[in-house]
Amino acid sequence: MSERWAVVLGASVGTGAAIARAVASDPGLSVFGAHRGSHPEAAAGVVSDVQALGRQAVFYEGNAATPEGVELAVRALAEVAEPGSVQLMVHSLASASVGRLATGERRLVPRQIAKTFDVMTHSFIYWTQALLDHGLLAPGARLLALTNPLDESLLTDCGLITASKAALEVYVKALAIELGPQGYRVNMLKFPTVLTPAVEQVYGARLGDVVASHSRMHPAGRMCTVQEVARVVSWLSGPDAEWFNGATIDYSGAMMSGLVDLILGGES
């Protein structure tokens, strides 16, 4: 039996890294990871962990969000993966601009808007097209986008991110209809805020307050972990989840319901 592969976009740190480790363990996929090279030591650690599980690990450093960059990455993948061997593609790319849409000093400019949509939204299409063009998708392959509950609430300066995720959800539904007859499954996993290097960098000294507020927000009384998200992705890549298609799978732990309760002060 030929090696089966998972393509994990944004695989060096955070959720993507956890997913790479998880799917290498169960269902036992080799991992082709794409990353920008910002965290070389972390990427090397993921490679080592995947290899320790007896799987291949090939990490590609480059721009995985433009049509040209995607084509180069998929050519590199085709050098190590046989045709029809990619069982899973997980879109964990994140690089977005925050700011106002029309007013103030923080008003977003066209370059920021275009880049955010390329990374967060359009690249999902670019990767799907390239994997199909190169004949790399396995029968019943799963294509998985990631999102968060931000699309349920327009936080200050996050309108562009919310819009990009909303468009990504439309892409998922459209691709599910288009690719379903070929046996492929396209879905979106919605999970809450988890602690990643990006989150830690954004919040800095306020991180403790963020953790405390999110812990109160979740009915479980704590934040979700990247490992919990990764385990769900492992399950979604297996046979028990083959009927999911065009779905936005809510794994948010009732985060937004908890936010409403937190704002209202909870029960008296």
- Mean pLDDT of the 155-170 span: 89
Residue 138: phi and psi, rounded to 5, are -80, 160
- Residue 185 identity (one-letter amino acid): R
pLDDT band at 268; cut points 50, 70, 90: very low
CA dist 198 → 12, 28, 56, 210 (Å): 12, 28, 27, 13
Closest C-alpha to 61, from 48, 82, 47, 49: 47
Which of helix, strand or coil describes residue 257? helix
Lowest mean pLDDT among 98-112, 134-148, 175-189, 228-242: 98-112
Q: What is the pLDDT of residue 263?
A: 59
Q: What is the pLDDT of residue 190?
A: 95
DSSP string, 118-145: IIIIIHHHHHHHHHHHTT-EEEEEEEEE
Q: What is the pLDDT of residues 28-61, one digit of tens each?
A: 999 999 988 788 999 999 999 999 999 999 999 9
Q: What is the pLDDT of residue 129?
A: 98
Q: What is the pLDDT of residue 196?
A: 77
- Alpha-helix runs per DSSP H in 53-94: 67-78
pLDDT band at 202; cut points 50, 70, 90: low
pLDDT band at 154; cut points 50, 70, 90: low
Cα dihedral sign for 48, 49, 54, 58?
negative
Helices 226-236, 14-25: inter-axial angle, 10-degree rounding: 50
Beta bridge partners of residue 8, listed in sequence order: 33, 90
If you average pLDDT over every residue of the chain, what do you get?
90
Q: In whole angstroms, what is the distance from residue 45 CA to residue 177 CA?
A: 38
Lowest mean pLDDT among 48-62, 178-192, 208-222, 253-267: 253-267
CA dihedral of residues 214, 219, 221, 227 (deg, nearest 10): -80
User: Does pLDDT of 260 surpass 70?
Assistant: no
Q: What is the pLDDT of residue 32?
A: 98
Q: In whole angstroms, what is the distance from residue 47 CA to residue 31 CA?
A: 8
Q: What is the pLDDT of residue 209?
A: 81
Give the CATH number of domain 5-195+225-254: 3.40.50.720
Beta bridge partners of residue 6, listed in sequence order: 31, 88
Q: In whole angstroms, what is the distance from residue 241 CA to residue 66 CA?
A: 30
Q: H or E segment at 60?
A: strand 57-61
Name the pTM for this structure.
0.91
Looking at per-residue confidence, does 216 or 243 come out higher?
243
Lowest mean pLDDT among 16-30, 52-66, 234-248, 254-268: 254-268
Give CA 241 to chain center in angstroms: 18
Q: What is the pLDDT of residues 81-140, one digit of tens each?
A: 999 999 999 999 888 888 899 999 999 999 999 999 999 999 999 999 999 999 999 999
